[in-house]
């Protein structure tokens, strides 16, 4: 459907194509404002009728909710699903990342070592990406398995999806 973005002053509305009229928007904004942070603690969204401009009949309903200062308007079923997902999300924001399995010893060419990343706190999203500073010395796959390729030193980095926190491990690869 559409999104309406509020810009600091409630009189300045940027609006994309939408079937919501100014009166309905004013009523919705008044209700949302009274809910604290734009979420009704009972429902979390506002349901509004979608009137057919030709017949005046109600063609259906759409939902409206506010997230990050932006009013989101979508089908009622999608709005309900998004609000439900938000309300049941038990994850918290990440505050850091670390790597275990990073021992101070050499890795022989052709051998592997498993590194494990952890994002803190433990109930934060535990995903991220692995990268290497030099793939001609050591590679790392998506699950943190490091393979020695050629002699030298490479830095393996894990970057958390939430917050972009990084942790590094220096890997020394020796010739076979």
pLDDT of res. 50 = 75
Q: Is 50 exceeded by the pLDDT of residue 167?
A: yes
Q: Give yes or no for a contact between 94 and 159, defined as CB atoms under 8 angstroms apart.
A: no
The pTM for the full model equals 0.53
DSSP 134: -
Provide the pLDDT for residue 7.
41
pLDDT over 60 (residue 1): no
d(CA 146, CA 134): 12
Q: What are 51-100's pLDDT values in tens digits?
A: 777 887 877 777 777 766 677 788 878 887 777 777 766 677 889 999 99
Separation in Å, CA 167 to CA 98, 100, 132:
5, 10, 12
124-137: per-residue pLDDT in tens? Answer: 888 899 999 999 99
pLDDT tens string 36-60: 333 444 466 777 777 777 887 877 7
Average pLDDT over every residue of 26-33: 54
Q: Given pLDDT bands bounded at 50, 70 and 90, which one contains residue 151?
A: very high
d(CA 127, CA 120) in angstroms, rounded, equals 11
Exposed/middle/buried for residue 174 (C-beta within 10 Å: 0-12, 13-18, 19+) = middle
pLDDT band at 164 (very low <50, low <70, confident <90, very high): very high
Q: Which two tokens stand for residue 83?
A: 């609000």
Q: Which residue has the higher pLDDT, 58 or 172?
A: 172
Instruction: Identify the residue with better confidence: 148 or 1.
Output: 148
Label residue 166 by pLDDT band (50, 70, 90): very high
Q: Give the model's pLDDT for residue 96.
A: 95
Q: CA-CA distance, 44 to 83, in Å (whole number)?
A: 6
User: Residue 145: pLDDT above 90?
Assistant: yes
């Amino acid at each position: 459907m559409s999104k309406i973005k509020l810009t600091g002053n409630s009189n300045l509305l940027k609006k994309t194509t939408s079937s919501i009229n100014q009166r309905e928007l004013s009523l919705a904004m008044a209700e949302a404002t009274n809910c604290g942070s734009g979420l009704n603690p009972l429902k979390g969204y506002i349901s509004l009728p979608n009137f057919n401009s030709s017949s005046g009949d109600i063609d259906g309903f759409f939902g409206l909710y506010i997230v990050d200062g932006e009013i989101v308007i979508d089908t009622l079923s999608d709005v309900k699903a998004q609000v439900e997902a938000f309300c049941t999300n038990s994850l918290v924001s990440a505050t850091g990342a670390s790597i275990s399995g990073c021992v101070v010893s050499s890795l022989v060419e052709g051998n592997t070592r498993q590194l494990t990343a952890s994002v803190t706190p433990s109930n934060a999203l535990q995903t991220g990406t692995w990268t290497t500073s030099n793939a001609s010395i050591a590679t790392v796959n998506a699950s943190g398995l490091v393979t020695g390729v050629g002699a030298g030193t490479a830095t393996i980095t894990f970057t958390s999806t939430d917050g972009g926190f990084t942790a590094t491990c220096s890997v020394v690869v020796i010739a076979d």
